[in-house]
Amino acid sequence: MINFELTEDHIALRKTVKEFCDGEVAPFIKEWDEKSHFEKSIFTKMGELGLLGVCIPEEYGGAGFDYISLGLVCEELEACDTFLRVAMSVHVGLNSLSLLTWGTEEQKQKYLVPQAKGEKLATFGLTEPNAGSDVIGMKSSAKRDGDHWILNGEKMWISLGNTADNFLFFCWTDEEKRKNRDHSGMSCFIVERGMEGFSSGTLHGKMGIRAGDTGYFTLQDVKVPQENMLGHEGEGFKIAMFSLENGRYTVASGATGVIRASRDASVDYANTREVQGQKIGEFQLVKQKIADMQADYEMCHLLWLKAGWLKNIGESSTKAASLAKWQATIRSEKAASMAIEVHGANGYINDYPVERYLRNCKAAVIYEGTRDIHTLMQADWALGLKKEPKARVSLPSYKTKEAAG
């Protein structure tokens, strides 16, 4: 039976995250956004709070909370600013949960434990300059050299790309299968920043998420040992799809935070701004916008909760996470736009946060599968053109444990 009632641990965790955001980020985010300043020290503090390993088992350095907890953290972080949630998405959703599920015990001890403790930052390298939604179009490669592999390739649009310590690098290990667009020729490797031949940089001129580090990294004849292959040779595509499912869950819960923040900012403004002697919150069309934001928030919150519940019981969340990601991101864009309209001209300047919400939320409609990709996926499932997704690999189940403290 589905039960979306939050536990005392959930409520306490959400309160902790809100207090962190209110004290450590909110007073400075306007300046950071204006200057495109990336404040790396924030992640040290997030690590100290256990957020960077929130749903990683305690035996691997994490806090041991469930996947609903991960969603709550992401929603609360993005209600403050998107750059915080983006880091959670790549560090926890795309990288650490993949290590937890696919990694050997040696890999978990070497990489997952320090990541869960917040001692190391991690990210995920799939997208390339000419390969985004078309994963098969990637050009990165790895060639065997005895008990090592030689890696070459460039990854683009990588969150924490110029900051992270550890990277998951997806590439072709079978040239013939690449030519035939057979994804069973892809593999995944764990790469460290300090490896010879590794370089990275930061992208500039972004529309939004200006307080975050979005960059690229390049591997030129980087030599990694066989033990740095995640999973088995040829399992790269499966790992990537598994990782993206987790990433979509974090994006969905985060985008729901943007809807909530847009609603809250609009309510505050509508209750104080007066026109012709009336608070604008008394005007019907303003009420309509706020009502739409409220409805969208409730719907999207329930959608990501369902996906989290499926994760908790060890079932596939592919379809649910896709739907939650699709709806939450497009409705966050709608909510931020309406919030600007509620604010009128004041919404167009950064004295108020709503213009930042709109700039930030646009990216989420694109990454982790565009709105068009998810539209087609949901239609194919509804039409029976694709079979109901089954769990490829299950995350650790929380059937007997709602949340750990």
Q: Give the SS3 label for residue 166.
A: strand
Q: Is 36 exposed, middle or buried (0-12, 13-18, 19+ CB in 10 A)?
A: middle
Mean pLDDT value across residues 284-294: 98
pLDDT beyond 70 at 2: yes
119 noted as active-site residue: no
Q: What spatial distance separates the first Cα and last Cα of the chain, rounded to whole Å? A: 24
- Read off the tokens for 220: 């030129």
Please check the confidence at residue 400 and state whether its pLDDT lies above 60.
Answer: no
Task: Say which residue, 134 or 269, is predicted with more confidence.
Answer: 269
Tokens of 60: 């691997």
Over the stretch 166-182, which tens digit does the pLDDT of each residue have?
A: 999 999 999 999 999 99
Domains of the chain: 8-121 (1.10.540.10), 123-237 (2.40.110.10), 244-383 (1.20.140.10)
- For residues 201-205, give the mean pLDDT: 96
Distinct helix (H) and strand (E) counts, the chain: 14, 10
Mean residue pLDDT of the chain comes to 94
The predicted-structure confidence for 216-231, as pLDDT tens digits, reads as follows 999 999 999 999 999 9
> What average pLDDT does range 345-361 have in this prediction?
97
Residue 316's CB is within 10 A of a number of other CB atoms, namely 18
The catalytic residue among 154, 368, 388, 402 is: 368
Percent of the chain with pLDDT over 90: 92
Q: What is the DSSP string of 246-310?
A: HHHHHHHHHHHHHHHHHHHHHHHHHTT-EETTEEGGGSHHHHHHHHHHHHHHHHHHHHHHHHHHH
Q: Which amino acid is at 164?
A: A
The Cβ of residue 320 has, within 10 Å, a number of other Cβ atoms equal to 24
Report the C-alpha gap between 316 and 319 in whole angstroms: 8
8-20 and 67-80 helices, crossing angle to 10°: 30
pLDDT exceeds cutoff 90 at 394: no
Residue 404 banded pLDDT, cuts 50, 70, 90: very low
| 255 close to 300: Cβ distance less than 8 angstroms | yes
How many CB atoms within 10 Å of residue 7?
16
